[in-house]
Amino acid sequence: MSRLVRPLQLLAGLFLAAFGIVLTLRANLGVSPWDVLHGGLADRTGLSFGVVVQLVGAVVLAASLLLGVRPGPGTIANLVLIGAFEDLLLDAGLGDASQGALLPRLLLLVAGVLLIGVAGALYIGAHYGAGPRDGLMVALHTRRGWSIGVARTVVEASALLVGVVLGGPVGVGTALYTVGIGPATQAAFRVLRMTPVRETTTEPI
């Protein structure tokens, strides 16, 4: 992959991730496991949603370092840019579907989940380093031999459990996201022919 394509792929993936997250928020059917935490902290602190995403990412990055996960420039870009893109999209007034019919909201949610899966394959597949929250997923894949789909689902389910314990908002969309994001990410890696690590491996993605 050329030196020009990889940075563009990284940036495109980060923007699409933010866009997908905003779509799931606007569907108003229940947020993703991580956004249960992000939304609760934003409400309590008065900080913008994007800033909270950045701060939580910094904490997760610190924890990942303790687990031996090595960050790369893409990790830092993920930490900074996804939250910034989310604030830009939210401030731009992307339509809120909360008062709309159920079917369009479900479609919006599904579109967001699929977009996040594609985004993850793009920015991780650029091989500049996984995002703070993705580092654990990649570590489970490379060190435990788990498929990307299973690893992503386990990480999201764990975040959901913590969010529920903390009293965060949970809806049917939260369950759909938790179940769907793993397969969506795995399918995106296969369709786009991306790999989560640079080294050639025979392990199934």
Question: What torsion, rounded to 10 degrees, do the Cα atoms 156, 167, 162, 112 define?
Answer: 10
Within a 10 A sphere around the Cβ of 152, how many other Cβ atoms?
Answer: 27
Q: Confirm whether 202 is domain-assigned.
A: no
Domain range for residue 86?
Answer: 5-191
Chain segment 92-149, per-residue pLDDT in tens? 876 666 677 888 889 999 999 999 999 999 998 898 987 887 777 777 777 778 887 7
Looking at residue 205, what is its pLDDT?
42
Q: Confirm whether 182 is domain-assigned.
A: yes
State how many domains the chain has: 1
Q: Confirm whether 70 is domain-assigned.
A: yes
Q: Confirm whether 200 is domain-assigned.
A: no
Cα separation of 40 and 46, whole Å? 10
Q: Confirm whether 139 is domain-assigned.
A: yes
Instruction: Name the percent of the chain lying above pLDDT 70.
Output: 89
Cα separation of 116 and 108, whole Å? 12
What lies within 8 Å, CB to CB, of 123 at 6+ separation is 9, 10, 12, 13, 14, 17, 74, 78, 131
| Residue 10: pLDDT band with limits 50, 70, 90 | very high
Chain segment 136-188, per-residue pLDDT in tens? 777 777 777 888 778 878 887 887 777 777 666 678 888 888 888 888 988 99
Q: Confirm whether 196 is domain-assigned.
A: no
Looking at residue 203, what is its pLDDT?
41
Answering whether pTM is above 0.75, one says: yes
Q: Confirm whether 201 is domain-assigned.
A: no
Cα separation of 102 and 143, whole Å? 41
Between 33-45 and 172-191, two packed helices, what is the crossing angle to 10 degrees? 120
Q: Confirm whether 89 is domain-assigned.
A: yes
